[in-house]
Structure formats: structure tokens, C-alpha cells
Amino acid sequence: MAVIHRTDLKPTKLELLASWLPSRPWYSGGTGGPEPAKAGGFRLDDPQGEVGIEFMVVTETSGTQPAGYLVPLTHRGAPRDEAEHALVGTMEHGVLGRRWAYDGCHDPVLVAQLLALLEGRVEAQDQNTSDTPDREVTRSCTGGGLAPADFTTSATDDHEGTEPPAPHGTTLRLHRLLRPAPDDAPLLPPKAAGHVAGSWHLPDGTRTRGLFATLHTTPRA
């Protein structure tokens, strides 16, 4: 299990995201510059113990309406080859030294562990406490045997999410601009073969939940 260190980061993750978020196609904020706030998320463990895997939820209010974003990040102790396009920034960690933070949708380690979560082979971990499962994260998957290598081609962004497509038509979609789910609505979209969902805090302090990722095993209309 990954160990959560109680130490300083310079700059902080939120400071990095304040510069990075406006460059994303799915960012819906205003032009004055975001002030993201941590609102939720979870972690996954790297089986090799080398890469930190975190799914952050941040909220910010610079746009016409408050918005929540899913920001999957990987933290590495050295730059990843040919991944400059996915670099969010670098930080100085009080225990681990320099860390390179990447958009996890472009990192094969995160994608492989997200598929393992979808299939129920690993558990989501609490974002702030070592060796503690996050019971608020739910998942489902019909079938199994997903091959991580099929999902590690260049991920593409649109105005609401990111998709690392697979050659055979299976699509893993990460919902970057989060939508709170109505209490009486099913989380899983029609024709979806799997999902990951979780909870976060809205800017007004209320708690909500919604989809973080969906899996489609046939092309969508």
C-alpha cells in the first residue's frame, strides 16, 4: 500500500492546477484565473510501488456557475519518456524530493489500475489515509479480461471528458467536467459496460456523487 506522507509540497497541487486547468478543453471557468479547491477523490496503488496514483476532485467558481473537475494524476520520481505533453508540473516533496506530476489519462500505470478497479481486482483507497479503502467509490463491469495495452494510445480530450480509445472499439471515458447525479437517477448510462463513481463536496458544502469513468464495449451512437 502507498504511504501518505504528512509533509509540504512546493508548489502545492492546487497551485499547479490553477495554471494547468485553463489549458484543458473541458475547463468551463472564466478568464480571471481559477482558484481550485480540493473537494474529494481517491487513490489507487501501483503494484510496483513506484508511481503515485491519485484521482483528485477539485471545484472552482470563476465561471458563470460553480464547476467540479476530475483530475487523475500520477506522481513520479523522474520524468517519463516522451510524456512532456502530459506534464502538469513539478513539485518539491518534503520527504521524496522532486516529483513530476502527469495527467494520469496519458499514463499507462494509471490506466492499467483504473481497469483493474473497474473489474474489481483492486480497491479504491482513501485519499488522505494510508491502508484504508474508500467505501464511497463504487464500480461495475460486465465481462472481464480487459487488456491495459489496448487503452494506452494517445488520449483525446473534448469539452467534457477524456478518452483513451482501444483498437477494437472499446472506449474508456473519464468524466472531467463532473455532473452531480440526481438522487432518483441510475448512475450507469444506457449501453455502458462498466463504471466508476464517487462523491465530492460542492462549493456550498453539500455532498454529492456522480460518474468518474464509464466503459463502453461497443461504439456509441
Query: What does each of the 221 residues of the chain score in pLDDT, given as a tens digit?
Result: 555 556 677 899 999 999 999 999 999 988 777 889 999 999 999 999 999 999 999 999 888 889 999 999 999 999 998 899 999 999 997 667 799 999 999 999 999 999 999 999 999 999 988 889 999 999 999 876 777 776 765 789 999 999 986 667 688 999 999 999 987 777 777 788 899 999 999 999 999 999 999 998 765 44
For the whole model, what pTM was predicted? 0.90
pLDDT score for 148: 77
pLDDT in the model for residue 221: 46
Residue 2: per-residue pLDDT: 59
Max Cα-Cα span within the chain = 48
CB atoms within 10 A of CB 105: 27
Q: Which long-range contacts (CB under 8 A, 24 or more apart) does 13-17 make?
A: 13/38, 13/56, 13/73, 13/91, 13/101, 14/38, 14/58, 16/88, 16/89, 16/91, 16/101, 17/56, 17/58, 17/71, 17/88
Residue 98 per-residue DSSP state: E
| CA angle (158, 45, 96) in 5-degree steps | 95
Separation CA 198–CA 70 (nearest Å): 10
pLDDT number for residue 33: 78
**In terms of residues, how long is the chain?**
221
| Phi, psi angle pair for 129, to nearest 5° | -130, 130
